[in-house]
């Protein structure tokens, strides 16, 4: 200690300050100039008005395909951010910089419209469908009337069953309605695992961590998921129709408006149909 003291007085070690400053600035130079650097990079790889689109998780595959087509046709890419419709609505209310919002239902866009955050009431772009999914090797047999599920439930074979969280994800609400219609809700409740989004729910079910789940047809109809198990389409009449509405937000620019029209156009409707949506 004494030595340290005398040495410090004799020759203060500023070198560590120097190297720390160097390290930070090297890192800075490499990373390319701070948050402004981040946006500069974003600007370099895209046009400056590249719009951010918030979309319900069930659109993960379909909208990605549509956006790729849109970028090819118009030369203007869009940034897609997927999440639970409720979460995205909340973020938009708190000022998140989205220009277009594609919800999994009509209630969330309506809430934004009545809060004065949208240009107009928007449009229904798709009607979603639910499927009962069982991963490969699961004890669950799938059928549209949930008979296999009821039987397995009675025999105590259902340990985990995945649905989306009904509070934030419209597909969860529809799943709840289906289970209630078949009188399974009370029995299955202790066994439910709730995904934040329908894709997280699919994650639970397709990886075999649950005996099965009620998922979006649009996710299960993508080839990479379809091969992970078996599914049965739930009749549309077994739950309130899942009319999915999109709204342009107040800050929407020309590209977002173009994309909005594109989604209603023939090319995009064909893609939506391919992913199992009914198109209005």
Among 53, 55, 56, 57, binds other proteins (CB under 8 A): 57
Closer residue to other proteins (CB): 16 or 155: 16
Residues 223-262 that bind other proteins (CB under 8 A): 224-225
The answer to whether 113 contacts other proteins (rule: CB under 8 A) is no
The site map against other proteins for 25-44 (x = CB under 8 A) is --xx--xx-xx-xxx-xx--
Q: Which stretch binds other proteins (CB under 8 A): 19-27, 150-158, 241-249, 267-275?
A: 19-27
Q: Which stretch binds other proteins (CB under 8 A): 14-22, 120-128, 138-146, 253-261?
A: 14-22
Task: Give the CA count within 13 Å in the CB-facing half-sphere of 269.
Answer: 9
Q: What DSSP element (H or E) covers 131?
A: strand 130-135
Residues 67-96 that bind other proteins (CB under 8 A): 79, 81-83, 91, 93-96
Q: Identify which of 204, 213, 215, 274 has the alpha carbon closest to the alpha carbon of residue 64.
A: 274
Task: Give the CA count within 13 Å in the CB-facing half-sphere of 44.
Answer: 7
**90 is written with which tokens?**
């909340």
Do the beta carbons of residue 118 and residue 246 sit within 8 Å? no
Q: Identify which of 270, 1, 3, 238 has the alpha carbon closest to the alpha carbon of residue 132.
A: 238
Give the shortest CB-150-to-other proteins separation in angstroms.
Answer: 29
For the chain, give percent helix, strand, coil, nearest 5. 50, 20, 30
Interface ranges with other proteins (CB under 8 A): 1, 3-5, 7-9, 12-13, 16, 19-20, 24, 27-28, 31-32, 34-35, 37-39, 41-42, 52, 57, 60, 64, 79, 81-83, 91, 93-97, 197, 199-200, 202-203, 206, 222, 224-225
């Amino acid at each position: 200690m004494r030595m340290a003291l005398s040495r410090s007085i004799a020759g203060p070690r500023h070198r560590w300050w120097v190297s720390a400053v160097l390290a930070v600035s090297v890192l800075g130079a490499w990373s390319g100039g701070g948050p402004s650097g981040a946006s500069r990079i974003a600007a370099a790889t895209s046009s400056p008005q590249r719009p951010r689109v918030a979309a319900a998780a069930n659109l993960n595959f379909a909208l990605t395909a549509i956006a790729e087509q849109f970028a090819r046709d118009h030369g203007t890419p869009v940034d897609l951010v997927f999440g639970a419709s409720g979460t995205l609505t909340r973020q938009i209310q708190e000022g998140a910089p989205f220009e277009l919002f594609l919800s999994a239902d009509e209630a969330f866009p309506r809430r934004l419209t009545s809060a004065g955050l949208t240009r107009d009431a928007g449009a229904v772009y798709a009607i979603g469908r639910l499927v009962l999914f069982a991963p490969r090797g699961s004890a669950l047999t799938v059928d549209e009337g949930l008979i296999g599920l009821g039987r397995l439930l009675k025999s105590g074979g259902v340990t985990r069953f995945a649905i989306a969280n009904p509070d934030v994800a419209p597909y969860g609400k529809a799943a709840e309605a289906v289970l209630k219609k078949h009188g399974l809700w009370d029995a299955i409740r202790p066994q439910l695992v709730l995904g934040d989004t329908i894709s997280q729910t699919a994650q639970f079910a397709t990886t075999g961590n649950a005996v099965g789940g009620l998922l979006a047809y649009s996710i299960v109809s993508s080839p990479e998921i379809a091969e992970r198990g078996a599914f049965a389409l739930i009749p549309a009449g077994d739950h309130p129709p899942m009319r999915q509405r999109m709204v342009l937000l107040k800050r929407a620019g020309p590209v977002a408006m173009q994309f909005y029209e594109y989604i209603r156009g023939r090319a995009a409707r064909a893609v939506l149909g391919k992913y199992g949506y009914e198109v209005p």
